[in-house]
């Protein structure tokens, strides 16, 4: 079984069947809903969808402390290498790679490209998401994004879809429910809501919008979900 562990807001760990630990969009330091501190987190890989502080604050320190390989866009990888991260794997939107833990592909996201800590703006990037295929099951981390018609390309390819529902900065519940129409996952995990006043949402409302088209797994910070 793979285990998805929600650390609050937009930070997840995924332990794959073979025990590989991936941390997606690490934000522990200053995260008001984090379930753990960065020092308690182990990682073999750190995946970064984009460079905003609520996804990226702990990426460099976590990669350096654990020796994990940081996977992100070419620009973010170039940036973290200037900050002393030794193990990194650059990718880009639409590209996939066979890692030991599965086939990981970067997907399109429509959002902002600023990279926290890049004071001169040299490494501004295109934000993305990740689709991970692991022998018969798959998980899609949409990242921060608007609703995209491109999500229709994922139809039939996703077991668990992790979708933002907070509105304001990303899709809200109505657009996320349309994304479920496009993707047709078995399970949806909503994230990126409630952390700040402007993204307050009722996940039960989202569950109602999705109806019987997918199972909505509402995770609180610290919750684990096996699939």
Residues in the site for Mn ion, rule: CB under 5 A?
54, 144
Nearer to Mn ion, 69 or 170 (CB): 170
Q: At closest approach, how far in Å is the CB of 18 from Mn ion? A: 30
Check residue 117 and report its DSSP letter: T
Q: How far is the CB of 73 from Mn ion (least distance, A)?
A: 16
| Pairing status of strand 160-164 against strand 137-141 | parallel
DSSP, collapsed to helix, strand or coil, labels residue 26 as coil
Q: Please, which residues bridge with residue 133 across strands?
A: 103, 138
Q: What is the nearest approach in angstroms of Mn ion to the Cβ of residue 141?
A: 12
Q: Which does 133 bind (CB under 5 to 8 A by kind): Ni ion, Mn ion, none?
A: none
Nearer to Ni ion, 118 or 144 (CB): 144
Residue nearer to Mn ion on the CB measure, 2 or 106 = 106
Q: How far is the CB of 26 from Mn ion (least distance, A)?
A: 13
For residue 51, what are the CA distances in angstroms to 23, 100, 102, 117, 146?
15, 25, 24, 9, 16
- The token pair that represents 96 in the structure block: 């996939």
Contact 189, 4 (CB under 8 A): yes
Q: Choose from Ni ion, Mn ion, none: what does 58 bind? Cβ within 5-8 Å by kind.
A: none
Nearest residue (CB) to Ni ion, 7 versus 52: 52
Rounded to an integer, what distance in angstroms lies between the CA atom of residue 6 and that of residue 195? 13
Nearest in space to 39 (alpha carbons), one of 54, 28, 53: 28
Cβ closer to Mn ion: 96 or 112? 112
The DSSP output letter for 177 is H
DSSP 8-state code for residue 136: T
Least separation in angstroms between residue 169's CB and Ni ion is 6
- Sign for the pseudo-dihedral over CA of 66, 46, 144, 16: negative
Between 118 and 133, CB nearer to Mn ion: 118
Give the binding site for Ni ion (CB under 5 A).
52, 144
Q: Smallest gap, in angstroms, from Cβ of residue 123 to Mn ion?
A: 18
User: Using CA atoms, how far apart are residues 43 and 202, in angstroms rounded to an integer?
Assistant: 31
217, interface contact from Ni ion, Mn ion, none, CB < 5-8 Å by kind: none
């Amino acid at each position: 079984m793979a285990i998805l562990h929600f650390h609050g807001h937009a930070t997840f760990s995924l332990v794959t069947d073979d025990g590989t630990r991936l941390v997606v969009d690490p934000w522990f330091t200053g995260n008001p809903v984090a379930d753990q501190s960065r020092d308690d987190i182990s990682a073999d890989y750190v995946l970064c969808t984009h460079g905003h502080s609520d996804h990226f604050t702990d990426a460099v320190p976590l990669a350096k402390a654990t020796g994990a390989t940081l996977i992100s866009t070419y620009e973010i990888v170039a940036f973290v290498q200037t900050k002393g991260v030794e193990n990194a794997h650059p990718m880009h939107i639409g590209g996939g790679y066979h890692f030991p833990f599965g086939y990981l592909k970067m997907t399109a996201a429509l959002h902002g490209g600023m990279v926290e800590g890049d004071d001169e703006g040299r490494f501004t990037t295109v934000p993305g998401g990740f689709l991970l295929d692991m022998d018969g099951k798959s998980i899609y981390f949409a990242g921060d994004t608007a609703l995209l018609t491109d999500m229709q390309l994922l139809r039939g390819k996703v077991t668990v879809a992790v979708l933002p529902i907070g509105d304001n900065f990303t899709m809200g519940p109505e657009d996320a429910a349309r994304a479920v129409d496009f993707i047709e996952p078995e399970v949806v995990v909503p994230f990126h809501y409630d952390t700040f006043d402007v993204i307050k949402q009722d996940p039960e409302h989202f569950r109602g919008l999705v109806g019987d088209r997918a199972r909505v797994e509402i995770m609180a910070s610290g919750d684990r979900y096996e699939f």
